[in-house]
């Protein structure tokens, strides 16, 4: 058998040097969207992703998780994965030879999926990036720990760096789960209603309009009359106006981009 994965029905079979106990407990599916995660905490996955709609989609084979334990590729008897920063300083840095070996294993399993490192210095992750990654066969997410990853491995593999925002986490695992969730819910069949993703926040460059449901009045606060009118055109206009108002008030950056796009069109 060659090193390249061969497809037999839904299952993907490939040769491996990994002991059986180190492999995932379920075979990889050949055509399912794949979230590969290179992490020192493989037991953290699927975590919350195994619940609710993403969990159901996982069980139904609409997507799959492939957690790769970075410790397996560690150096020496103690499988060390990090070392002190060159030039001195606090903390430890993940070694490029260790991370590189894990990336090579990830590519051997699933080919060259988009490769992302979760990092506070990365570009801001947004709905547009989620759509791009969701449209790919999957994504390989590298979760940093300690002071981060040796720059050489990022340069060698041309790794894209993404950030959830201007704050620092203790590791990339929580950020990876957020990225996976944002992508999986965009995959066909996961939400069950394509309109749900078309009408939500950021789909048109705006924050979402306010939502209401029964009872018709609560604590003296009624549902806006227009939403009870049954007039779909008026409801659509109201929702667009409300989305514009909340975006203008809360996210001037999004509002400026929305207005600029409208002027170009």
Greater confidence (22 vs 14) lies with 14
Residue 169 annotated in ligand binding:
yes
pLDDT for the residue numbered 25:
54
pLDDT digits (tens, 9 = 90+) for 97-109: 999 999 999 999 9
State the average pLDDT for the chain. 90
Each domain of the chain, given as residue ranges in start order, spans 6-184, 200-264
Residue 207 annotated in ligand binding:
no
pLDDT digits (tens, 9 = 90+) for 163-182: 999 999 999 999 999 999 99
pLDDT for the residue numbered 200:
63
Burial bucket for residue 195 (CB in 10 Å: 0-12, 13-18, 19+): exposed
CA neighbours within 13 Å on the CB side: how many for 252?
0
Residue 164 annotated in ligand binding:
yes
Are the CB atoms for 130 and 183 separated by under 8 Å?
Answer: yes
Mean pLDDT of 5-33: 54
Burial bucket for residue 41 (CB in 10 Å: 0-12, 13-18, 19+): middle
What CATH topology corresponds to 200-264? Answer: 1.10.1270
Residue 168 annotated in ligand binding:
yes
Residue 154 annotated in ligand binding:
no
β-pair partners for 82? 94
pLDDT over threshold 80, residue 24: no
What CATH topology corresponds to 6-184? Answer: Alpha/beta knot (3.40.1280)
CA distance 92 to 84: 5
Per DSSP, which regions of 62-147 are E strands?
63-69, 82-83, 93-94, 115-124, 138-143
β-pair partners for 221? 218
- Say what the pTM is: 0.85
Mean pLDDT of 77-84: 97
pLDDT for the residue numbered 23:
38
pLDDT digits (tens, 9 = 90+) for 181-206: 999 999 999 998 665 666 666 768 99
Residue 174 annotated in ligand binding:
no
Q: What are phi and psi of 133, to 5 degrees?
A: -70, -35
Q: How confident is the model at residue 249 (pLDDT cuts 50, 70, 90)?
A: very high
Residue 142 annotated in ligand binding:
no
């Amino acid at each position: 058998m060659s090193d390249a994965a061969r497809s037999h029905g839904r299952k993907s079979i490939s040769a491996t040097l990994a002991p059986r106990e180190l492999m995932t407990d379920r075979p990889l599916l050949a055509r399912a969207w794949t979230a590969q995660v290179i992490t020192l905490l493989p037991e953290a996955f699927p975590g919350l992703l195994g619940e609710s709609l993403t969990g159901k989609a996982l069980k139904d084979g609409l997507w799959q998780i492939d957690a790769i334990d970075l410790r397996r590729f560690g150096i020496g008897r103690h499988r060390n994965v990090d070392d002190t920063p060159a030039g001195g300083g606090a903390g430890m840095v993940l070694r490029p030879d260790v991370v590189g070996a894990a990336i090579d294993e990830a590519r051997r399993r699933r080919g060259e999926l988009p490769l992302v490192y979760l990092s506070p210095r990365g570009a801001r992750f947004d709905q547009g990036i989620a759509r791009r990654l969701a449209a790919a066969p999957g994504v390989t997410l590298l979760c940093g720990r300690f002071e981060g990853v040796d720059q050489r491995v990022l340069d060698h593999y041309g790794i894209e760096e993404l950030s959830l925002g201007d704050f620092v986490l203790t590791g990339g695992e929580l950020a990876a789960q957020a990225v996976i969730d944002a992508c999986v819910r965009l995959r066909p069949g996961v939400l069950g209603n394509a309109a749900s993703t078309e009408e939500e926040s950021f789909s048109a460059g705006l924050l979402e309009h306010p939502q209401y449901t029964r009872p018709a009045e609560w604590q003296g606060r009624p549902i806006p009359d227009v939403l009870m009118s049954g007039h779909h055109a008026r409801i659509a206009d109201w929702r667009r106006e409300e989305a514009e108002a909340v975006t203008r008030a809360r996210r001037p950056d999004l509002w400026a981009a929305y207005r600029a796009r409208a002027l170009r069109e």
